[in-house]
Amino acid sequence: MLSILIENMGLLCSRNKHYNEEDNEENAQTAEIERRIEQETKAEKHIQKLLLLGAGESGKSTIFKQIKLLFQTGFDESELKSYISVIHANAYQTIKVLYDGSKELAQNDRETFEISSENKGIGEKLSTIGSRLDYPHLTKELAQDIETLWKDAAIQETCARGNELQVPDCAHYFMENLQRLADPDYVPTKEDVLHARVRTTGVVEIQFSPVGENKRSGEVYRLFDVGGQRNERRKWIHLFEGVTAVIFCAALSEYDQTLFEDESKNRMMETKELFEWVLKQPCFEVLFSSIFLCPYVACAAVQISSNSVGSLTFYLLFFYILVQKTSFMLFLNKFDIFENKVLNAPLNACEWFKDYQPVSTGKQEIEHAYEYVKKKFEELYFQSTAPDRVDRVFKIYKTTALDQKLVKKTFKLVDETLRRRNLFEAGLL
């Protein structure tokens, strides 16, 4: 009997030892998981969320690509090659819009807009290709056809009326580089990629720091780009929470153009209404930091012993609430196109700018027109912002998305502004 009892006691001790080993292993795994979660949480706390918004064709995606080029590793060869089909499609789409537009304009003015008889066949062929869903690879022969049609006087006249059509901003750039684009060994350059136009669908994001992620003086940002067309905007809402700053892009040059998706709507009026709507979103009012465990409380944890349960440790959690109003950065984009257009196309073509009166010529008039548009957006901001939110950070920047030096300078200014805001809210300024 005694031997059986001793044997059972041995088995029990062995089992307890086995259970203790399992518990220790499980506790170690739990501790490792908690350590990783804590590390990720700390890392996330230092990442500032930026939301890039604006109507379609405002230049948001070009800004996004510039950030990748400026503050990340840029595009490797495989990424550059992935743009070949996009760039070839842009060439076909551009010449189709111009050819179809010339036929439409020729109904009222044949002498100016009718394609020459020797180029009509080329035009019909290219228009058919441009209507397809699958564009052929751009060959030297097709590039020559596009180039021939592009040089037709009627097409040049049509391009001058591009604001009445949906001629993309990249038209001149790609039409002037057709032979290079059609080279069998063609690999797009950074400039080609920046000019390439493909409508953003869904949400894309990028993480970067304007001064380098390893430098303590700089913040790390996560920038989200979303489609600007009307049918894409329903995807914006779920990104509105926890935003450090909204970067809203408005294309200065589109005051006399209509929407791609609604040709009865002026693009600048659409931008005005969209900016007004974004400003009124209540979720941009405050940010709340997450619950955290105070380390001093953790050191004084209460331990309760129980014969059956063992030892349990209870930690007190502190709720730390930081009231932080989302900052707004307005990028008045496409200034390069605006300064070439505004002296010839009246700014008051847009209903919002109907009271604009030119006061000078040349560079002075360009600057006067820009300041007028800037003031209209400033007035809209204060009219659309609730009284308890007017003290949030609001800055306006003149930008040209294709100008890498200007984009770099602008984002360093944005970084400086947001860092100063963070120091101010922490009571350090």
**Known binding positions for GTP:** 57-62, 194-200, 225-229, 333-336, 401
**Closest by Cα among 32, 392, 96, 410 to 244:** 392
The answer to whether the beta carbons of residues 406 and 400 sit under 8 Å apart is yes
CA distance 396 to 408: 15
The answer to whether the beta carbons of residues 313 and 379 sit under 8 Å apart is no
Question: Which alpha helices (H) appear in 72-219, and where do they start and end?
Answer: 77-81, 84-106, 110-113, 117-130, 140-150, 153-160, 171-175, 178-181, 190-195
Tokens of 170: 């990249």
Which residues are CB-neighbours of 320 under 8 A, at least 6 positions away? 289, 291, 292
* DSSP calls for 146-162: HHHHHTSHHHHHHHHTG
The answer to whether the beta carbons of residues 374 and 281 sit under 8 Å apart is no
CA distance 41 to 338: 44
The answer to whether the beta carbons of residues 284 and 326 sit under 8 Å apart is yes
CA distance 172 to 94: 9
Q: Looking only at Cα atoms, what is the longest distance across the chain?
A: 120
**Residues contributing to the annotated binding site:** 57-62, 194-200, 225-229, 333-336, 401
CA distance 26 to 15: 16
**Residues contributing to the annotated binding site for Mg(2+):** 61, 200
